Amino acid sequence: MTATLTPQAESSRPPSLQPHGWLRYLSFSVDHKVIGLQYLVCGFAFYLIGGALAGAIRTELASPLSDFMPREVYNQVLTLHGTVMIFLWIVPVVNGAFGNYLIPFYVGARDMAFPRLNAVAFWLIPPAGLLLISSYFITGAAQSGWTAYPPLSLTTPAIGQIIWILSVLLLGGSSIFGGINFIATILKLRRPGLKLMQLPMYCWAMLGTSILVVLSTPVLAGTLILLSFDIVAHTGFFNPGMGGNVVVYQHLFWFYSHPAVYIMVLPAFGLVSEILPVHCRKPLFGYATMVVSIMAIVVLGLVVWAHHMFTSGTPPWMRLFFTIATAFIAVPTGIKFFNWLATLWGGRISLNSAVLFSCGFIVNFVLGGITGVALAQVPFDVHVHDTYFVVAHFHYIVYGGSVFVIFASIYHWYPKVTGRMLNEPLGRLHFLITFIGFNLCFAPQHWLGLNGMPRRVAEYDPQFAFINQLSSVGALLMAISTLPFLWNVIASAFQGEIAGDNPWRALTPEWLTSSPPPVENWRGEAPLVTEPYGYGVAADELDLKAASGRDLWSSGR
Amino acid sequence: MVLVLGGLWIGQNVNLLPVDASANAPIYDELFRVLFSIGAILFLGILGLVIFSLIRFRRREGQLADGLAIEGNLPLEVLWTAVPAIVVLFIGLFSYDIYERMGGMAPLGHDAMTQTSASASSSVQRVWGGIGTPALSTTTEAALAPPLPVEVTAMQFAFLFRYPQGDFISGELHVPVGQPVTLAMEAKDVIHAFWVPEFRLKQDVIPGQPTVLNFTPTRAGRYPIVCAELCGPYHGGMRSTVVVEDQQAFDAWFAQNDKLSATST
């Protein structure tokens, strides 16, 4: 996998302590671009593992009986699937990979604020991930779901649960290190003259996300440490037999884990805001409202956690408050979607893979958002909570949302990273199979949940068999869709068309350097880009110019 | 306009839910139809906009120029902030109303507390309330019939139903049509959840927190009781059945199992 992302070796390189060539991707490099790619490739490897686990789940559910694997193993598989996909794929990739690669460019810096901390943050991930996966082979992995609700997590085999806690703590630590680094970089490392309101939208998204990371991840860490005390030292924080309270765990857990959803989708929102204007040849619509809505999502995202607990003995006033707060997140989110639609409107849209994946994201996420507003309503939630309706809902958010954007971003930035273009027809094929497979897999699950199939079960009523088989076929298509993508990124690294520095004629600063960019990003002074979305022609000079928009190369305007 | 009518039609005519078998199920379905209509209108509208934009504004052969430099439009942005805010507010108020009609806003455990403390006589601990239908039970004929108390014990991996009026334990929940039922629920080991899809009711049963759930069955039949909270390896097999039957059948079943028949009659 590393081979796919190895750019041409630089011929004349100043001597340094950092390794050169492909070896630096396996080293403790402090170059933000190397670290970004390390995150991406490592995350993708875990995506393949998590995908294989999902395949195992869908195979088990192809028949109503529990016949493919033992029930204990099934619970381990679903726990690992959730944990791997969240903590080892989506969070590290949308934050760590693209954040590290892009943020220093966007603020006009030569690296992140704390390069060594950055490398530490990455190198926590592979051991934590391997620890998690190896627990399956050593003693059996945790069986209590990625939520690890006590008392179940106290009564299932302890070693698997402890290893799970350890690896999540490491991954949470990595996430916090990354968050601190992003906040410092965005606020403090901006090129002189670059104002906050001139930053590309991804910076704002990462600023908001990092605030959420720094505020909420420590709560998860504390909670899991208490949980491990309960398991190892037989304390009674969450053990009702010893006077503990399990609902307290749920509050603390969701205080992190609901913002975690925004930690997974806000960066995706930012990436889409970068991709669409370039390929539509239009400015990003409503820059200021985009910024305000990101910050509104951050604030609201911190006060909605109890909507995961509507059936677990919460007082009525609390149910009411969290209903209203949750539903109101739809307003800033809606603003962002309408802004993207307005960005598409009247553009000159290149229908390439990056745009197709972005538009697939819009469609999927809107559906996930609509079911989300419905789920916020207590009476509705009381019926479908913990059912396949919820499973469908959050896969529309994190797969249809974040993962689609990850693919869109790979298609968009691959020329910058490798200096070569990806194969466009293969990319569109990838999009087509992914989109059809995804919707075939998850849309029917809404019906399953409404009609009585709970989540996290290895067996179900025979009346649900057909829809489950349909869903499994969709999952198979999603697995197949990875093949053209893998072939594309590997083959194009060696024989793709040479991209040039700026194949998309984009204006954001990462394109104003060579592809792949040199160490420290620019040969000369960093460019000052005050209008990152200055595409488009004014209405009165529509036919006069044939070529692109304003030239913003001038660094000292 | 077509979109709105289409969405309303879909909401009214596409039925994705199982049959309704409790007093709060029709109220729930009312909410579902409203949410489904609004959702369908929004989703089809946005899907249509995306597809239209992608086709109408795609880059054609030989086009090199950029699109229009539109950076914003204040009235439009105000519009699409205000409209969703109003829709969300409407949905919130509507679901609040639905929730109240389901009895969810009854102060925590107060109604239920008096009932259970009368029977259990020593309830110093706080009783956590579930959503239920006490509001309905006071208005309909149920006001005449006192609720049927049943004590539910959830454990890995079964539900047990104890009828205190007959002092016997059953593996199935039998309830007569039209009579309110009060479930006093308790979990022995880990968290379970009591869910009857046809009743549109779900309540977690949490160890250490006695929980009360009220409902009134309205349609005879056999419906599954499903555990909806991951509770261990056999979670998927943790199921039971609620049998809703008419009063005679219920009385016959009750008499057959009754251990207190001498004293209770």
Q: What is the mean pLDDT of each run of 10 residues along chain B (265 residues)?
A: 75 74 83 89 91 90 76 86 90 85 60 39 49 47 69 91 90 90 89 91 88 88 93 91 92 87 51
Average pLDDT over residues A67-74: 92
State pLDDT tens for residues A295-326: 999 999 999 999 998 888 777 778 888 988 99
Give the list of residues 6+ apart from residue B193 with CB closer than 8 angstroms, or none: A311, A385, A386, B202, B203, B204, B205, B227, B228, B229
Q: Nearest by CB to A373, which of B80, B91, B230?
A: B91
Sign of CA dihedral A273, A278, A279, A284: positive
Beta carbons of B81 and A379 less than 8 Å apart: no
CA of A86 to nearest chain B CA: how many angstroms apart? 19
State pLDDT tens for residues A4-25: 444 444 444 555 666 677 777 8
DSSP state at residue A71: H
Cβ-contact A277, A343 below 8 angstroms: yes
Tell me the C-alpha distance between A242 and B32, whole Å.
41
- Tell me what pLDDT residue A432 has: 96
Sign of CA dihedral B215, B218, B220, B222: negative
Split at pLDDT 50, 70, 90, the class of A352 is very high
* Higher per-residue confidence, A260 vs A379: A260
Which residues of chain A make contact with B76, given a CB cutoff of 8 A? 342
Which residues of chain B make contact with A152, given a CB cutoff of 8 A? 190-191, 230-232
What residues 215-274 of chain A have any CB closer than 8 A to a CB of chain B?
240-241, 244-247
Tell me the C-alpha distance between B230 and B251, whole Å.
35
Q: How far is C-alpha A167 from the geometric centre of its chain's CA atoms?
A: 19
- pTM for the structure as a whole: 0.90
CA of B155 to nearest chain A CA: how many angstroms apart? 12
Task: Reply yes or no on whether the pLDDT at A275 is more than 90.
Answer: yes
Percent of chain A beyond pLDDT 90?
A: 75
Whether a cis peptide bond, with omega within 30° of 0, leads into A516 is: yes
- Tell me what pLDDT residue A537 has: 76
In B123-263, DSSP assigns E strands to 128-129, 148-155, 158-163, 168-170, 173-176, 181-187, 192-196, 201-205, 211-215, 221-227, 239-245
- Map residue B21 onto helix, strand or coil: coil
Which amino acid makes up residue A446?
Answer: H
Q: Which residues of A154-172 are buried (b: 16+ CB within 10 A; e: fewer)?
A: bbbeeebbbbbbbbbbbbb
What residues 328-367 of chain A have any CB closer than 8 A to a CB of chain B?
328, 330-331, 334-335, 337-339, 341-342, 344-351, 355, 359, 362-363, 366-367
Cβ-contact A492, A420 below 8 angstroms: yes
**Does A549 lie at the interface with B, CB-CB under 8 angstroms?**
yes
Which of A63, A377, A453, A535 best probes binding to B when mutated, by most B CB atoms within 10 angstroms? Answer: A377
Tell me the C-alpha distance between B242 and B219, whole Å.
12
Query: Pick from A204, A305, A321: which is nearest to A260 by CA?
Result: A305
What residues 135-174 of chain B have any CB closer than 8 A to a CB of chain A?
none
Give the DSSP per-residue string, A131-154.
Answer: HHHHHHHHT----STTTT-TTHHH
Provide φ and ψ at A504, rounded to 5°. Answer: -95, 0
Contacts 24+ apart (CB under 8 A), A6-11: A6/A493, A7/A417, A7/A418, A7/A419, A7/A516, A8/A419, A8/A516, A10/A518, A10/A519
Cβ-contact B205, A124 below 8 angstroms: no
- Does the model's ipTM exceed the 0.85 cut? yes
CA of A44 to nearest chain B CA: how many angstroms apart? 29
Query: Pick from A48, A52, A24, A51: which is nearest to A38 by CA?
Result: A24
DSSP state at residue B57: T
How far from A440 is each of A393, A456, B196, CA to CA, in Å?
A: 14, 20, 27
Tell me the C-alpha distance between A485 and B145, whole Å.
65
**Does B208 lie at the interface with A, CB-CB under 8 angstroms?**
yes
